Amino acid sequence: MPNQTNLTLAITRLPKYQHTTTLPLPELTKIPAPSFEGGITTRIITHPTFPTRAFAYEVTFLLNHPRVLAVAAQKPPLHFHPYQEEYVQVIEGRLAVEIEGREYILTREDGEFRLPGWCNHRLYAPNNQGGEEDGDEGDKGGGEGDKKTVFILSGQDTDELLRLDTVFFENWYSYQDRVFVDGEKIDLIQVMSMFDAGGSYLSLPTWIPFSRTIARALGVVVGRWVGGILGYQPFYEEWTTDWELACEKMNMSVFQTRFTRRERERERRRKEVVSVV
């Protein structure tokens, strides 16, 4: 690791994708959003050092929870975000971050880890919580810190409306519950629809020429256009806190505008029923 630079925030530059920042644990600002029947909890916070980031969450994985154990061997899909950097900082335990085929095992001592735009990546809890991968100093031995992983996930602000934000994560986590808890079969078009609306695209093998450009085009064509024609919504009102923002995003596509009209019609009918009563 390069020598530490003595700055006010104790920032240390790490190889290529990383830098560390010593931060206090922020105060929670909103009601938690649980998933996997409580095995994963995501709390919306204000980032203690960069409050203008597009989003910031405190995420907790309960590693011994039955729902988390059931999917422990399955890694989430590789993906990338063209318009935003993401940042990960472990508060407790250990977290695996895979970037371009290389796995990093992060602990609290590693500080903040930067995920640049366009990089193929995914996050998950390491299968071997007590192992000796790079970066696990201070968390070996299978102690209390191995029972859960707590980390801060945040993202760069951007003028792009289709981006990672709370509207996206509310719907994505809720859909994962439908699949992993309720047993619904995963639908690739639904995933691509949600990802495209969150400025995210499923990665293709890197040996394919122009793989990222092709992947992004597929996300738009299949997720936004074909998905919209077939009735796939990127956002659902029952899963969304800021439905007005979700409608603004869907109104950007002629193939998804009908979903906002449908919800407006439902709301109009509900108001008519209330007025009659």
Please tell me the predicted confidence (pLDDT) of residue 145.
Answer: 47
Please tell me the predicted confidence (pLDDT) of residue 277.
Answer: 56
Contact 89, 186 (CB under 8 A): no
How buried is residue 15: exposed, middle or buried, by Cβ count under 10 Å (0-12/13-18/19+)?
exposed
Please tell me the predicted confidence (pLDDT) of residue 267.
Answer: 63
C-alpha R_g of the chain: 20
Please tell me the predicted confidence (pLDDT) of residue 261.
Answer: 76
Contact 126, 95 (CB under 8 A): yes
- Tally the residues of the chain: 277
Residues in the chain predicted with pLDDT less than 50, given as ranges, are 1-32, 129-145
Cα distances (Å, whole numbers) of residue 105 to 26, 118, 123, 262: 23, 21, 10, 45
25 token code pair: 């644990």
**Beta partners for 13?**
19
Contact 243, 237 (CB under 8 A): yes
Please tell me the predicted confidence (pLDDT) of residue 243.
Answer: 94
Query: Per-residue pLDDT tens for 61-77?
Result: 999 988 888 887 788 89
**Beta partners for 89?**
112, 152
Residues contacting residue 123 through CB under 8 Å, at least 6 positions apart: 76, 88, 95, 96, 97, 98, 153
Query: Per-residue pLDDT tens for 111-166?
Result: 999 999 999 999 998 875 444 444 444 444 444 446 899 999 999 999 999 999 99
Residue 50: count other Cβ atoms within 10 Å of its Cβ.
Answer: 15
Place of tokens 């290389």: 102
Does the pTM surpass 0.85? The reply is no
